[in-house]
Structure 1
Amino acid sequence: MRINNNMSAVITNNQLLGTESSLADVMEKLSSGFNINHASDDPSGIAIAGKMQAQIDGLGKASTNSSDGISVLQTAEGALNEVTDMIQRMRELSVQAANGTNSDSERETIQKEIDSLLEEIDRVAETTEFNTINLLNGSLDNRTYAEHATRIQTSNTVPAGVYQITINQAATRGTSGVSPLGATSTPVTSSTVNSYDNTTSTTTVNTVASTDFKEFINNTTWVQEVTNNSSGDVVSHSEGSGLGMSGTITINGKGVSLTQGTSGEGVYELLRDTCELAGAIISNPADGSGFSIQSLKYGAQADLKIEFSSKEFAQVLGFDTTTWGDAAIVESVGTDAVIDVHKTGGTVDSMFGPQATYRTDGNHIIVSDVDGFELSFLAEAGFDATTDTGSANPGRIAFNVTDIGSMTLHVGANKNQNMEVRIAAVTTEFMYIDDLSVTRVNGPEDALDSLDTALNYVTSVRSQLGAYENRLEHTTKSLDTTEENMTSAISRVEDADMATTMVEYTKLNVLEQAGTSALAQANELPQLALQLLQ
């Protein structure tokens, strides 16, 4: 029996201290609800839980990102719904304008509403925003860079890279050129017999060659005499300058009467106004290349037909009629662009596939291939291999298609888990309806064609947005489900099982009470030594 070292008390005390430590851990688990409160509790478990928590937090934010993406698409799609309605209204107006019961003034009134709707479409495209990000002006479409081409559009299946074409022949307009004006110096003579008073009216016109149309008309001089057919006496004599004789000119079915003596400015203004209604343009270049009337459009559908009241009247307007025959008519049709598409494997570094083809409408060129591949653009007027003389590769256009510009939605918990959203430009320019007019000859019919194409374009953009929306809805559900499952998994790793922990707590609590009692008994053992000393 020893009193200096009470080993029973020491052993019991050590056991009690261990029980207290374990009990403290269990109580911490019960109070926090976590099975892992310190790294020492489960070193591997805390590492796993840390990674899981990062994924859970990321998944939650990715789900929010997806929802924000849906909001962006819904905003754009809502604006496009109004664009669709406006195109439908313009189509309705075009059908109305196509009716022959409408006068020119009524078509002009219809055109005012069309012009207003075109402006509104562009306004919607430029001002539809989400969080200050413009949605419909093309800023969220992939960037493509090229010279001598505008209105460049690529489908979603066009990979980034360099695509090259060569324009061998630029699209042309139907044209009636006069160069130089009044090159023939022979006087133009026209006689008209008036049976009602037995007289003959003779007009002799002298022109002076010029490269400027207005100057040519103003420098023209004319003499008109009326002679009695019976006596040969001159009944009247008049002379002057300006337009040499009266007559009519009809351009694509739109006619205008010109009066003898009208100044060059006056004739030019009347012809300009007629061309505007006839779907043609009039030009008088300062470089002296000659006055001309051309179709407004380019390509094989660009017809131009000019009819004069007489060949003599055409001459006094500066036209050379020596090859016309008996008819006083000029007819011309434009041509479409002719290009080479440089394909993969050729001598030119280009990524067009071996099955690529192209189609043209004037200088609007579309290159297509399998899997919905489509590259569309408007070639610069007059640019081709014959005019691009200063280039090492005349007529060559290189399109650098990038994957820059689209909206990147981060829809995952980790880096590079992205979804690219492209929204094409929905402006009147990119829909090729920016020059829509029902006041021109065949304008309503042309407008119907253009608006049908524009409607298909907008519908295509809307369907793409709908596809994005449906995908994002599935993405959001997937992220939420994954987050739920990940939360369940991390719960199994770091959350305390309260039932099991309570069993452990009860056991340790009993052990602590037993240890305390045992320690008290052990501390009483040295007292027994006193009995030996009595």
Structure 2
Amino acid sequence: MRIQHNIAALNSHRQLGSNNNAVGKNLEKLSSGYRINRAGDDAAGLAISEKMRAQIQGLETATSNANDGISLVQTAEGALTEVHSMLNRMVELATQSANGTYDNDVDRANLQKEVDSLQSEIDRIAESTNFNGINLLDGSVGSTGVGKVAVDVKYAGLAGNAGVLALNSATAAQSTVDAAGTSPTLAAGDHTLNIKFRDADGNLADKSVSFTAVAADLDAAANNSALEKAVQEAFGDGYTVTATAGALEITSKTAGADDKLEIYQISLKDPDGAAVASAFGDITNTEGADAYYTLDAAALGAYDGEAATNADNYIFEINGAKFAFVDDADAAKALDSDVNYVKVQAAGTVDDTDTAAMIALINEKTGIGAEVNATNTSIDLKAGTTAAKSGNGLTLQVGDTADKFNKVTVSIDDMSTKSLGISGIDISTQPGASAAIDKIKAAINSVSSTRGDLGAVQNRLEHTINNLGVASENMTAAESRIRDVDMAAEMMEFTKNNILTQASQAMLAQANQLPQGVLQLLQ
């Protein structure tokens, strides 16, 4: 028997310390709910779960971002709903003014007042609509582009001097293909007609269609119908095709400058796939043009400043700016201060030099694209162009990584009247009202397209939110399996370790009593 070292007590003490540590860990896990409270609990599990936690947080934040994006889109789309309503009202007013039962000076003037008011409200909405301080409809979150500056022309002296102002109707884009100088001889069988062109939307197209000749000579009248059918198939229903003796004329059914029809190449291959040499002649492309006014400066004349002369017969207004030709400085002084003027070279006469000076002044003050007419003393008051506000759209972060596929770009173009092409519409005259109808309808189509894009983005974001929710749920479940404690299993372990702790305490007490037997040997 030894008394210097109580091995049984040492063993019991060690077991007691181990059991106390185990109970402490059990209590920590049970009280926190986590299986891993420190790296020592499970180093690999901790690293994996922390990575998962970062991903979960990213997914939850992305969901919040997508919801914010929906709110932004709804704000813009809600504002455009009212813009749509006002444009529809403007169409109604323009159609009403185009009717011949109204008087220019009274009825149409009142209709124009409402149009002016609606234009001002559209511009106010475009400038003021914002989300969290971000302007949405002024073009700042749109893509860089070019807008039109419409032309609003007013001339008070039109009734007494009708020749001063004339309206030129819109023209359609047209391409003509001349017949070959010498008509090629065609082999029997189906030929292939290939046409390379730019369509109405400005996209390059390359179409090949079958062409079955009725006669051996391409320019034979009998081939006109087959040739028309083949070319019509290539271009579609938006164009009218006419074939005459091997020559082709393709005309857009929609008038205006927005149609981009342009043929680059047309060729014919025989049934064996070999090119038919010189099948067609030269190609001529004519762009479509929007309606515009022509101002006859020579017929307008120059204001002499005399008291007996009515200045209104010499003043014309474009987009709110007033202009006039004057004989001299004294005549200029007789005009109101808001009238921009050009002093003519010879009193009472407007020549080509005076006209050129007026064109420069008009374009500077209004931003339109006025041009000299072929007569040299008339001005074609055509729409101008203006660069839209530069922007690359607004990017939404809808994923947990910085990858490109986790970003959604929202782009909203400038919705001001200038960008919509209706800033200068004038329904105070019957011709002006007729021209305004098409312009307003084009603006309605533009707003409809923008609203459609916004609706598509909103639907996409809603699906994105659903996907993020599922991903977050599954990732949270995976993280929970690694990090969270199984309370039932841990309680069983705690019970076991608690009993072992009490047992080791009891055995330590017993082991401490063992050396007491040595005292009996010493008696």
TM-score grouping bracket, smaller chain normalisation: 0.5 to 0.7
Instruction: Give the TM-score, by structure 1 length.
Output: 0.58
Determine if contact 2:148/2:421 at 8 Å carries over to the other structure: no
Instruction: Decide whether aligned partners of structure 1 residues 214 and 47 sit closer, same or farther in structure 2, where only a CA change above 3 A counts.
Output: same
Determine if contact 2:95/2:437 at 8 Å carries over to the other structure: yes
Report how far residue 400 of structure 1 moved. Answer: 12
SS at match of 1:496: coil
Structure 2 unaligned spans of 5+: 150-200, 204-285, 327-341, 346-352
Report how far residue 482 of structure 1 moved. Answer: 1.7
Determine if contact 1:35/1:494 at 8 Å carries over to the other structure: yes
Matches within 5 A, 1:66-465: 66-104=66-104, 105-143=106-144, 151=148, 174=294, 176=296, 178=298, 213-215=302-304, 265-266=309-310, 269-272=312-315, 285-286=342-343, 288=345, 289-290=353-354, 378=385, 404-416=391-403, 417-465=406-454
Report how far residue 525 of structure 1 moved. Answer: 1.4
- The answer to whether 1:513 aligns with 2:502 is yes
Q: Distance in 2 between matches of 1:290 and 1:98?
A: 34
Report how far residue 415 of structure 1 moved. Answer: 3.0
Determine if contact 1:213/1:291 at 8 Å carries over to the other structure: no
Q: Distance in 2 between matches of 1:96 and 1:298?
A: 29
Determine if contact 1:59/1:412 at 8 Å carries over to the other structure: yes
Determine if contact 2:314/2:325 at 8 Å carries over to the other structure: no
Report how far residue 363 of structure 1 moved. Answer: 5.4
The equivalent of 2:252 in structure 1 is none
Report how far residue 173 of structure 1 moved. Answer: 6.5
Report how far residue 24 of structure 1 moved. Answer: 0.7
Q: CA-to-partner distance for each residue in 1:162-215, whole Å, 9 max, x for gaps?
A: xxxxxx99x997454549x9xxxxxxxxxxxxxxxxxxxxxxxxxxxxxx8235
Structure 1 unaligned spans of 5+: 158-167, 182-211, 219-241, 243-261, 305-318, 321-329, 336-361, 365-377, 380-398
SS at match of 2:408: strand
Q: CA-to-partner distance for each residue in 1:477-526, whole Å, 9 max, x for gaps?
A: 22222222222121111111111111111111121122122222211211
Report how far residue 75 of structure 1 moved. Answer: 0.8
One-letter identity of the residue aligned with 2:107: E
Q: Distance in 1 between matches of 2:314 and 2:389?
A: 44
Determine if contact 2:34/2:484 at 8 Å carries over to the other structure: yes
- The answer to whether 1:500 aligns with 2:489 is yes
Worse overlay, 42-51 or 425-434? 42-51
The equivalent of 1:35 in structure 2 is 35
Instruction: Decide whether aligned partners of structure 1 residues 400 and 112 sit closer, same or farther in structure 2, where only a CA change above 3 A counts.
Output: closer
Report how far residue 414 of structure 1 moved. Answer: 2.9
Q: Distance in 2 between matches of 1:283 and 1:276?
A: 14
Instruction: Decide whether aligned partners of structure 1 residues 283 and 47 sit closer, same or farther in structure 2, where only a CA change above 3 A counts.
Output: farther
Q: Distance in 2 between matches of 1:70 and 1:440?
A: 44
Instruction: Decide whether aligned partners of structure 1 residues 25 and 3 sit closer, same or farther in structure 2, where only a CA change above 3 A counts.
Output: same
One-letter identity of the residue aligned with 2:354: G
State percent identity of aligned pairs. 39
The equivalent of 1:475 in structure 2 is 464
Determine if contact 2:140/2:389 at 8 Å carries over to the other structure: no
The equivalent of 2:229 in structure 1 is none
One-letter identity of the residue aligned with 1:79: A
Q: Distance in 2 between matches of 1:57 and 1:510?
A: 41
Q: CA-to-partner distance for each residue in 1:282-317, whole Å, 9 max, x for gaps?
A: 6563374236999999799x999xxxxxxxxxxxxx
Instruction: Decide whether aligned partners of structure 1 residues 510 and 448 sit closer, same or farther in structure 2, where only a CA change above 3 A counts.
Output: same
The equivalent of 1:7 in structure 2 is 7
Q: Distance in 1 between matches of 2:51 and 2:137?
A: 40
One-letter identity of the residue aligned with 1:213: A
Structure richer in helix, relative to its length: 2
Determine if contact 2:147/2:420 at 8 Å carries over to the other structure: no
Report how far residue 36 of structure 1 moved. Answer: 0.8
Quote the RMSD (CA, aligned, Å): 4.1
Q: CA-to-partner distance for each residue in 1:137-156, whole Å, 9 max, x for gaps?
A: 11111345xxxx7659xx9x
Q: Distance in 1 between matches of 2:344 and 2:20?
A: 105
The equivalent of 1:522 in structure 2 is 511
Instruction: Decide whether aligned partners of structure 1 residues 453 and 116 sit closer, same or farther in structure 2, where only a CA change above 3 A counts.
Output: same
Q: Distance in 1 between matches of 2:373 and 2:498?
A: 103
The equivalent of 1:198 in structure 2 is none
Q: Distance in 2 between matches of 1:401 and 1:20?
A: 72
Q: Distance in 2 between matches of 1:177 and 1:97?
A: 27
Instruction: Decide whether aligned partners of structure 1 residues 454 and 9 sit closer, same or farther in structure 2, where only a CA change above 3 A counts.
Output: same
One-letter identity of the residue aligned with 1:214: Y
One-letter identity of the residue aligned with 1:440: T
Report how far residue 74 of structure 1 moved. Answer: 0.6
Q: Distance in 1 between matches of 2:417 and 2:52?
A: 50
Report how far residue 12 of structure 1 moved. Answer: 1.6
Q: Distance in 2 between matches of 1:39 and 1:16?
A: 25
Instruction: Decide whether aligned partners of structure 1 residues 85 and 25 sit closer, same or farther in structure 2, where only a CA change above 3 A counts.
Output: same
SS at match of 1:408: strand
Report how far residue 406 of structure 1 moved. Answer: 1.7
The equivalent of 1:484 in structure 2 is 473
The equivalent of 1:197 in structure 2 is none
Q: Distance in 2 between matches of 1:69 and 1:276?
A: 41
Count how many residue pairs are aligned between Structure 1 and Structure 2.
Answer: 353
One-letter identity of the residue aligned with 1:269: D
Determine if contact 1:97/1:110 at 8 Å carries over to the other structure: yes
Report how far residue 276 of structure 1 moved. Answer: 8.2
